[in-house]
Structures are given as structure tokens and as C-alpha cells.
């Protein structure tokens, strides 16, 4: 069995044994308090978790320390008292694309509208889309628009027996032949923000140096979320579960989730100034 290293801290010091697991692994604990199952399961005892089992193991709002919840609540009160709701231009843009991304809208919209969506930063900046644009130009408007339509349709309206988290993962991993090249995490998340604005925060990446959902949870709530490479929950699941976690933590009182996300961006910069 290899050396145990905390998946949150990347530190291999002060690791203590907690208990053995039936499949041959060990539960160990780092000095930071994080526990995990270390080692490979025995081939004859390989353990599998259901979708609901894995989701239940993801961090929850009640895992946040009361002190950090209180700080975030004070900042929320301050923010809502002084900051505007949201830009009317963004609301109009969101409404326009909510119609375009309806089943009927996807079938009939002009290709240019789909390409423009990938390159617009109204409401949420998806970053440089050079890969998408190169693929679009190489494929031509008709083929690229069809691939983008099928990708978006599968994400938003795919089969009910495949959870949204797993449809997202299939598109991220190019597991579907129609998946549009370059239409990945930021753009897929942005499409979800447009169609389900009451649920999805306009934070378009799970983890990034510029601050994704994982970093936001750490900076605003001091809550550590798993590194994608340290767990087998898939990036698609981490993206959605972290969104829902932050959604629950920010709570009510915002005009929409774009407004909630704006609060989180603001709050992370304020916390360093608090005593």
C-alpha cells in the first residue's frame, strides 16, 4: 500500500490510522481533520457506490464552521444593503437565450446566434474560446451549428434516466459522437445558467487559478471541496454538486443566481479585511 497523502492538503505528515475497511483499504485521518479511504480495494472485494451514495458523501452546508457562516451572513447583509440587483442588459440577454435554448429555439435558431453565445461575456465570462472557434471555422456554419445544437439539447433535455451530472460528464469527456469540440465546461455551465437561472450560479468553472467554485467555497466559507484528481466522482458531478452547495449557502434574498454569484465574488475579496 502506497504512502498516504491528504487529498486536500497534499501533505503526508501526521497521518493516523482510524479503522480498516472491509474491502482491504484503511480509513486514515490527516492533522487537518480530513478523513479518507486509502489504498486499493482487494480485487474480490472491490466496492462500488451508487450515484446517491456518492452525492451523500459530498460536503454539505452543515460542514461549514459557525464562525465562517456568521461572517458570510454579515457580508451578505452589507452587500444586499448597498449593491444593486443586476444589470437590465444581462436580464434581457438571458431571456433571449432562454428562448433560443428551448427545444423549438434550438431547432430553428440561426447558426450565428450559437456562435455568438460562445463568444459573449454578457452575464458571465466563459474565457477564451479559441478551440471552439477553430473547430467551428473548420466544420463550417451548418455542421458546427448542428453539433452545438445536439450538444446543448442533450445537456438540457437529454434522457431522464441519465442524471444531468452524468450527461454533463459525457459531453466533457467527448463520450458522445455529436459533442461539439471546445463547447466544454464554461460554455456548458453557461447554458445551464441561462435555462435554469434560479439554480445555477454564474461561476463557470469548478476549479481554476482565477477562482472557481472549489476556491470560492474555501475563500468564503473555509470549506474544502475535493480536487477532481483525488476522487472518482467525475468532474460533471463535482460541477453540479458544488453549484448546489454554494446555492444553498448563499441562501435567499438575491434577485437571481447571477446576483448571488456577484455577492460571492465580492465577499471573497472582503473576508481578508475582517478581524
Count up the domains in the chain and report the number: 2
What pLDDT, on a 0 to 100 scale, did the predictor assign at position 229?
A: 82
What pLDDT, on a 0 to 100 scale, did the predictor assign at position 86?
A: 66
What pLDDT, on a 0 to 100 scale, did the predictor assign at position 168?
A: 98
Q: Would 136 be classed as within a structural domain?
A: yes
* 2 phi/psi in degrees, rounded to 5: -70, 170
Q: Would 162 be classed as within a structural domain?
A: yes
Q: Are residues 97 and 147 in the same domain?
A: yes
- Residues in the chain with pLDDT values less than 50: 1, 46, 274-275
Q: Would 25 be classed as within a structural domain?
A: yes
What pLDDT, on a 0 to 100 scale, did the predictor assign at position 22?
A: 66
Q: Would 63 be classed as within a structural domain?
A: no
Q: Would 116 be classed as within a structural domain?
A: yes
Q: Would 108 be classed as within a structural domain?
A: yes
What pLDDT, on a 0 to 100 scale, did the predictor assign at position 275?
A: 46
Q: Are residues 138 and 208 in the same domain?
A: yes
Q: Are residues 226 and 130 in the same domain?
A: yes
Q: Are residues 263 and 129 in the same domain?
A: yes
Q: Are residues 99 and 186 in the same domain?
A: yes
What pLDDT, on a 0 to 100 scale, did the predictor assign at position 132?
A: 98
What pLDDT, on a 0 to 100 scale, did the predictor assign at position 119?
A: 97
Q: Are residues 81 and 39 in the same domain?
A: no
Q: Are residues 112 and 24 in the same domain?
A: no
Q: Would 233 be classed as within a structural domain?
A: yes
Q: Are residues 4 and 128 in the same domain?
A: no
Q: Are residues 73 and 44 in the same domain?
A: no
Q: Are residues 219 and 255 in the same domain?
A: yes
The CA distance from 26 to 41, in Å, is 9
Domain extent, residue 141, equals 69-273
Q: Are residues 21 and 139 in the same domain?
A: no
Q: Would 56 be classed as within a structural domain?
A: no
Query: Could you tell me which residues come within 8 angstroms of residue 213 by beta carbon, excluding any fewer than 6 positions away?
Result: 201, 203, 205, 206, 207, 225, 239, 242, 243, 246
What pLDDT, on a 0 to 100 scale, did the predictor assign at position 78?
A: 93
Among residues 14, 209, 228, the alpha carbon closest in space to that of 6 is found at 14
Q: Are residues 182 and 251 in the same domain?
A: yes
Amino acid at each position: 500500500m502506497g504512502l498516504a497523502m491528504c487529498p486536500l492538503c497534499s501533505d503526508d505528515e501526521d497521518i493516523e490510522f482510524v479503522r480498516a475497511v472491509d474491502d482491504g483499504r484503511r480509513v486514515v485521518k490527516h492533522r487537518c481533520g480530513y478523513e479518507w479511504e486509502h489504498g486499493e480495494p482487494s480485487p474480490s472485494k472491490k466496492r462500488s457506490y451508487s450515484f446517491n451514495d456518492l452525492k451523500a458523501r459530498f460536503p454539505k452546508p452543515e460542514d461549514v464552521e459557525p464562525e465562517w457562516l456568521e461572517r458570510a451572513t454579515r457580508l451578505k447583509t452589507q452587500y444586499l444593503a448597498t449593491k444593486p440587483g443586476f444589470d437590465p442588459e444581462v436580464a434581457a440577454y438571458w431571456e433571449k437565450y432562454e428562448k433560443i435554448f428551448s427545444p423549438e429555439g434550438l431547432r430553428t435558431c440561426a447558426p450565428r446566434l450559437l456562435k455568438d453565445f460562445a463568444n459573449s461575456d454578457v452575464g458571465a465570462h466563459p474565457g477564451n474560446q479559441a478551440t471552439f472557434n477553430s473547430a467551428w471555422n473548420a466544420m463550417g456554419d451548418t455542421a458546427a451549428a448542428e453539433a452545438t445544437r445536439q450538444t446543448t439539447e442533450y445537456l438540457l433535455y437529454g434522457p431522464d434516466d441519465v442524471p444531468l451530472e452524468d450527461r454533463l460528464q459525457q459531453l466533457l469527456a467527448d463520450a458522445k459522437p455529436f459533442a461539439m469540440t471546445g463547447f466544454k465546461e464554461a460554455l456548458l455551465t453557461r447554458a445551464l445558467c441561462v435555462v435554469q437561472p434560479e439554480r445555477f450560479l454564474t461561476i463557470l468553472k469548478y476549479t481554476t487559478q482565477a477562482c472557481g467554485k472549489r476556491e470560492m467555497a474555501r475563500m468564503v466559507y473555509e470549506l474544502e471541496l475535493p480536487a477532481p484528481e483525488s476522487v472518482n466522482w467525475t468532474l460533471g458531478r463535482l460541477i453540479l454538486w458544488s453549484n448546489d452547495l454554494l446555492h444553498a449557502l448563499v441562501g435567499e434574498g438575491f434577485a437571481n443566481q447571477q446576483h448571488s454569484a456577484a455577492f460571492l465574488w465580492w465577499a471573497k475579496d472582503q473576508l481578508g479585511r475582517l478581524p
